[in-house]
Structure 1
Amino acid sequence: MKLKKLCVAIAVAMPLLGSFAAHAVDADKENRVFGSIFGEYYMPDTDKTESAAWDYMKKDWGYGVEIGYYLNEHWALRAEYARLEMQSKLDGTDVNGNRIGFDAMYHLPQMPSIYIVGGLKRFDAAQTSTAVNVGVGYKHFFNQNVALYAEGNRYQGIDESYGDAGIKIGMSYLFGSVVEKAAPAPAPAPVVVPVVAKVVDTDGDGVNDNEDKCPNTAANHKVGPDGCTIFVEKMAAVGDVDIEVRFPFDSAAVPADQRFDVQSLGAFMQRFPESTVAIEGHASNIGNPAYNMKLSQRRADAVAKMLKQDFNIAESRISSVGYGVTKPRVEGSTRAAHRANQRIEAKVTAKIKEPVLR
């Protein structure tokens, strides 16, 4: 289950990382030392969360540091220390521990920002154990020294049978400076022999081919002097986003294991700074309707507060409203209906571009 969630998270993130990579600096990494700090969301195996031997440890956060060395542009070695601030889901007591280990990293030749990582780790949380890890990561360099990275790992126990997972977000610093290489002398400009071409308008958009920078535009699109489609930007709804936040009965606190979709929404709004969201809180049809109306408002406000505090989304871009039991997703008074109706939904509006038609 942990591996499935990790793979889903990485698959969702890859399209965003692909567009982000287009603006990355191609840092010269060969023979340079790097150091990193990171935060990590750690997900123990289900067997650990249900075992007294592992103190019923639950998903929680950790942090750590790394030191490493790039052998060349593709291969690197690193040592890691992580502090795991875990808790027991049985009584909330601390199940803290440490993780130390070594990794080898391989950066893909065609996509050097993406790398594969594997190594050996030693844990001392609840029990002392050894595990091998394998994962994938993305590192974005802003200049020749500073980079942000995200990384997902699967930890497979060797002396104990378990399969944990973890997702890191961190910052790296490459020590040393890059020696500037002399630019090659420019090649002499080729001699261009002017050719007199017959003036035609192949796509019939009113701009001759010799001036048309966008051939084969749609017949119903209005074009500019360069022959390219004219677009207009406007704010439009991109659809209802069910962020799947499920609340315990009579609670407005967002559970730790229900934050992934809220985090995905926060990342989307950071990526599109002109987007806005309307958060709708709902409640199950149990108890007093007036109380449920206030409870649904508190649930909506809790998600709005998380977007503002954790993702720095401006308050002007967020609205929250509670609907109580007035808009049930599932009719009826069954346990399944009540659980389905204890939810948060979101309506996101973002700027889109539409062609101007003739």
Structure 2
Amino acid sequence: MKRKICSVAVAVALPMMAGNAYANTPSAAELKERMFGSVFAEYYMPDRKKTRDADFDYLTRGQGLGFDLGYRIDENWAVRAEFARDRLKNKLTRDRISGNRYGVDALYHLNNSGVYLLAGLNRHSIDKTNSLNVGVGYRAFLNENVSLFAEANRYQGLNKGTWADAGIKAGVSYYFGSAAAAAPTPAPAPTPTQPAVVDSDGDGVPDHLDQCPNTPRGHKVDERGCTVYTEVAQRVGSAEIRVLFPFDSAEVSREQRADVARLADYLKRYPTATVEIEGHASRIGAADYNQRLSERRAKAVADLLVNTHGIEASRITTKGYGFSRPRMEGATREAHRANQRIEALVTARIKEPVMR
């Protein structure tokens, strides 16, 4: 019977409170770390054992008033200490018996609801007993500070044998302080304005990275914006060195060395250039003889460039053509003089831009 009364009372009280709940109920985060105090009325129902036992003064049901003081630790947990002054009855004499109940409780609030669970310890001065209590409650806020609550508790005896009381209570609580204002949402950081990319010479490398401005249009460039070059071998010129040799001789006379000196100067101006010395002969005598003669004459000029003018031998090649490449056809004196010659073909490594 006692349990039914508890259940009905709480079942009736909770919907009524929920219907009047404050529309802007503070969130659990807004309640944490706040003190609260409550006043309440309770209806206390001793165990039947107490009603029939002289050791408990034949206690039966009664009412009481009380207050509590608590602290909300975080979004779920709270603690409180409470005091209640109860007036129960002696079932036999119907006399009023007054006494106090002291208790401490831990409360656990369920997420996103007004429901909470509790457990604690109590001291009852009426019958000098101690108990462990467990219960359930519901809290509904009228505003951010004031709330109504209802609870049902079960008190399990810790001394004087085995017994179990029950109680229901309803009250009003006040939460001290105010809900912490939510931190304002920071304004989004302004998006930095991207500077316009300028490529004055149109080579694909922006001006602020271009180390070679004004690159000619169409040139392929590297990451620095500089033209990419390739080296190609290119014949840059030929020089005829007219050296007249005595019969069956490949010695360059002192008078004929001016042309060789001019060739040496040319090679010194272009350090990467190479030269091929071609020896030629006129159509006098056998072909084999003239072939060997043209080779000796080409080598004589090459030796002069190396030994006298300091040109590297690696830059010089020689080749004899005999009379296979005459400059002037015929067997006249003029034809012999034109064909008896040395030609120097100069080739240089030229850097050319790679085109896109």
TM-score by length of 1: 0.48
Task: Please give the TM-score of this superposition, normalised by the length of structure 2.
Answer: 0.48
